A = this chain, B = another copy of it.
Amino acid sequence: MNQSESDKFLRSHCPVANVLDLFGDKWTLLIVRDLILGKTRYSEFAQSHEGIPTNILADRLKRLEMAGVVVKKAYCDKPIRYEYELTGKGRDLMPMLDAMVAWADKHVPGVKVFPYFQRGNFN
């Protein structure tokens, strides 16, 4: 999708709205979180505690790939198997996740911040 094409579907030129167009749902950023935590495979994402439905997972991975946030590579030829990893664009989401973790840590009772996300690990 080039810029003029994608422009046709922009809700607005607001940066917040544009982030929400890609990440504004209950699952997409959980996949990004898993990628940051070192997971790379479909089955690993599917096994995360929140229990993402597999059709949603496949759809979100496709969208993230199209958006250039992740890349899909074959890690095995026979049988063909894939792994996913964050691009630079994807890794640049870390400050956003960091801010989310900080907010939840302060305001949501009962959350457990896993070590990787503890404040200071992002930059």
Contacts and interface: CB of A to CB of B under 8 A. Distances in A.
Assembly of this chain: how many copies? 2
Interface string A9-36: 0111111111111001111011001000
Contacts of A114: 14
Interface residues on A, range: 35 or more
Contacts of A111: 13-15, 18
Interface stretch (A39-47, A55-63, A70-78, A88-96): A88-96
Contacts of A10: 110
Interface of A: 3, 6-7, 10-21, 24-27, 29-30, 33, 49-51, 89, 92-93, 95-114, 117
27 contacts: A3-B109, A6-B110, A10-B110, A11-B51, A12-B50, A13-B110, A13-B111, A13-B112, A14-B49, A14-B50, A15-B111, A15-B117, A16-B33, A16-B100, A16-B101, A16-B104, A20-B25, A20-B27, A20-B29, A20-B30, A24-B24, A24-B25, A24-B27, A24-B29, A25-B25, A95-B103, A99-B99
